[in-house]
Amino acid sequence: MVALNSDRFIVSYNRIDQLMKDLIGTNEHMAFFRLIDFAKKKNAVIRRYEADLREYGDLRNAIVHHRTSIEFAIAEPHDDVVAKMEEIEGALAKPITVAQMFRTNVTIFQETDSLSYALKVIKDKKYNQFPVYKGKSFKGLISPVGITMWMASKVDSESFSRKKAVLSEILAHESNRNNHKFIHAETSVFEAVEIFKTSVIHGRRLEALLITEDGKASDKLIGIVTPVSLLKVE
């Protein structure tokens, strides 16, 4: 027997209801809209889909409270509505983490590496930002802005040379030394999107989020998230 869309919708709705209760730590009965109010304070997925959830809460009430028999529901949700509800459920039950999506072997640079070497790596690997270390100690993130500012400072210099310039010099010309943020591997992609958006609102544009297992700068770098790389999530 093929499940009706209304049945699938209600099942997914009930699962989301319980997932939100788990988020806020309660098993008490609470109106769906109140659950959203509390859960969105703790979870980026709820914040992302809040408008949809509120709309679907109204739809659920129409289906349940106006059902005239076991076999008949006053409203049968569209296929895309059911798919969206189940998508939200999946995102809430098993959120995609930044490590799952962006884990990679990150090429790191040392302060003493030449700009010429770094530019070759950028060309080969299509990097736009690259992390600079002194041994195992993170020193900063170089962006195209930093390189441009360094070049501008040397435009009238007779000693201008990409081969002689080392990355510690370039790093000194990064106008925004707080152009990055370390995040832990289990951060959800929705949280990552919010971090970028919030930074812009607060006047601090981030070039990249740097992923380590525990979100500490002292840990091994296992991935990099950029605003461009997150466009697929949007």
**Per-domain boundaries in the chain:** 5-94, 100-225
Instruction: Say what the pLDDT of residue 12 is.
Output: 97
Instruction: Say what the pLDDT of residue 6 is.
Output: 85
Between helix 79-93 and helix 5-24 the angle, nearest 10°, is 30
Enumerate residues 6+ apart whose C-beta is below 8 A from 116: 162, 163, 165
Please state the pTM of the whole predicted model: 0.82
Instruction: Say what the pLDDT of residue 1 is.
Output: 47
Q: Which residue has the tokens 């812009």?
A: 200
Which ranges of the chain have pLDDT less than 70?
Answer: 1-3, 65-75, 156-163, 175-176, 232-234
Q: Report the distance separating Cα 142 and Cα 175, nearest Å.
A: 10
Query: What's the topology of domain 100-225?
Result: CBS-domain (3.10.580)
Instruction: Say what the pLDDT of residue 202 is.
Output: 85
Contact call for residues 194 and 204 (beta carbons, < 8 A): no
